[in-house]
Amino acid sequence: MRRELVELLVCPVTRDPLKLEVVSEDEHGDVIEGALVSERINFRYPIEDGIPNLLPPDLQRRADEPA
Amino acid sequence: MTHHRTLAPPVRRGGAPVIHAELQRHYDALYDQLLNRRPAREARPVLDVGTGDGLTLAAITQGSPLHGVGVDTAEPGHWLGPVGWSVIQADAQRLPFDDRSFRSALMVDVFEWLRHPAATLGEIARVTDGPILVVQTDWEGLWFQADKAEVGRHLVRAFTRGAPEQLRSRIRAASTEAGLEISGSSIATISAETLKPNGLAWDVLESIRRYLVIESAQVRARRFDDWRAELQRASDDGQFTMLLRRVVALLERATV
């Protein structure tokens, strides 16, 4: 995920800006693993394999449930 | 500069040219405008809703001025989308963007997957400052019927010929429910006047032109024959459209 994308993103619940946390990045500085944090609802939207998951928390929990 | 073979007009049986010379000059001017006067890149991004793995987006935007963000509810896995585009996993009814973040939005062959189409269209309209381009194809035709496209302040609907009428009605109903402005009286035929640099029509034309060029030779050859025959019929019926003519011309150029 390109770092400048953060400027375009907001929390889908509160529409507040998100805080970027970087765990790993590639040689171009793009984020590979990390999170986008919505502080008001204390939720971390994960970034995995360079792709941020900004599904609202209720949909993320549903996706995590076993089929 | 690339030189293209001069396009000879199709010939009716008996030798009389179907296409008037003035009409051909009009088309040639349009092609030259499209091919040679690339606009400066528009800074604001485009939103592609239901982007999937990005393969379709890559096909229709290769080398074009369009750039932006693709979103999909499903995890995209390996992103095959175009360079310069970003992809995020998001719910189209609760998009993680501020109001008016995008210059326009694309939704290609997505509508039939939407559970709440009006809510989705309303949310897309919130984050978009320009028109939403809804394209439904029949998976055979590559071109939409621009003379039947409906253009409103908020929504452009475009279909290939085979898109079912029921689907058109559903899109219209959802658009109305979402409060989007579409006008049946505003019928759009893309012309020199509408082909303004940085305009959505320009970009989409450019994108689809490139899509045609990169198509496989086999598919292109088959469709070329189909379109040529269709063009002939349309000419005979007096309902000749610039777009059909354009597709054939581009294919001819691409196969030189």
pLDDT over 70 (residue B36): no
Distance CA B70, CA B59 (A): 14
**Burial classification of residue B230, based on how many CB atoms lie within 10 Å of its CB (0-12 exposed, 13-18 middle, 19 or more buried):** middle
Predicted local distance difference test score (pLDDT) of residue B103: 80
**What is the tens place of the pLDDT at every residue in B92-141?**
999 999 999 988 788 777 777 777 888 888 898 899 887 677 765 544 33
Beta bridge partners of B157: B134, B150
Name the residue among A1, A2, A59 with its Cβ closest to that of B91.
A59
Predicted local distance difference test score (pLDDT) of residue B117: 80
Residues from chain A that touch B79, judged by Cβ atoms under 8 A, are 50-51
ipTM reported for the complex surpasses 0.90 = yes
Residues from chain B that touch A15, judged by Cβ atoms under 8 A, are 98
Q: Cα torsion at B220, B144, B140, B218 (round to 10°)?
A: 0
Domain ranges of chain B: 21-253
User: B-side interface with A, Cβ within 8 Å?
Assistant: 45, 69, 73, 75-76, 79, 86-91, 94-98, 101
Distance CA B129, CA A49 (A): 31
A55 touches chain B (CB under 8 A): yes
B47 touches B106 (CB < 8 A)? yes
Range of weakest confidence among B110-119, B156-165, B181-190 = B181-190
Residue environment code for B146-166, b if the CB has 16+ CB neighbours within 10 A, otherwise e: beebbbbebbbbbbbeebeee
B21-253 CATH fold: Rossmann fold (3.40.50)
B101–A8: do the CB atoms touch at under 8 Å?
yes
Q: At CA B125, angle to CA B121 and CA B134, rounded to 5?
A: 55
Residue of chain A whose alpha carbon sits nearest to that of B86:
A1
Q: At CA B187, angle to CA B184 and CA B192, rounded to 5?
A: 160
How many CA atoms, within 13 angstroms, populate the side-chain half-sphere of residue A24? Answer: 7
Residue A59 tokens, joined: 């949909």
**What is the tens place of the pLDDT at every residue in B228-245?**
565 555 455 444 344 444
Residue A3 tokens, joined: 């770092």
**What is the tens place of the pLDDT at every residue in A8-41?**
999 999 999 999 999 999 998 999 999 999 999 9
Question: Could you tell me which of B247, B218, B227 has the C-alpha nearest to residue B27?
Answer: B247
Residue of chain B whose alpha carbon sits nearest to that of A18:
B96
**Burial classification of residue A25, based on how many CB atoms lie within 10 Å of its CB (0-12 exposed, 13-18 middle, 19 or more buried):** middle
B86–A1: do the CB atoms touch at under 8 Å?
yes
pTM of the predicted model over 0.80: no
Distance CA B118, CA B67 (A): 26
Question: Could you tell me which of B25, B70, B23 has the C-alpha nearest to residue B45?
Answer: B70
Distance CA B217, CA B63 (A): 19
pLDDT over 70 (residue B7): no
Distance CA B74, CA B96 (A): 15
Q: Which of A7, A9, A43 would best serve as a mutation to test chain B binding (most B beta carbons within 10 A)?
A: A9
Q: Which of A 15-54 lie inside 8 A of B, CB atoms?
A: 15, 18, 50-54
Indicate the pairing of strand B149-151 with strand B155-159. antiparallel
Residues from chain B that touch A51, judged by Cβ atoms under 8 A, are 75-76, 79, 87-89
pLDDT over 90 (residue B1): no
CB pairs A-B closer than 8 Å: 50
Residues from chain B that touch A55, judged by Cβ atoms under 8 A, are 73, 89-91
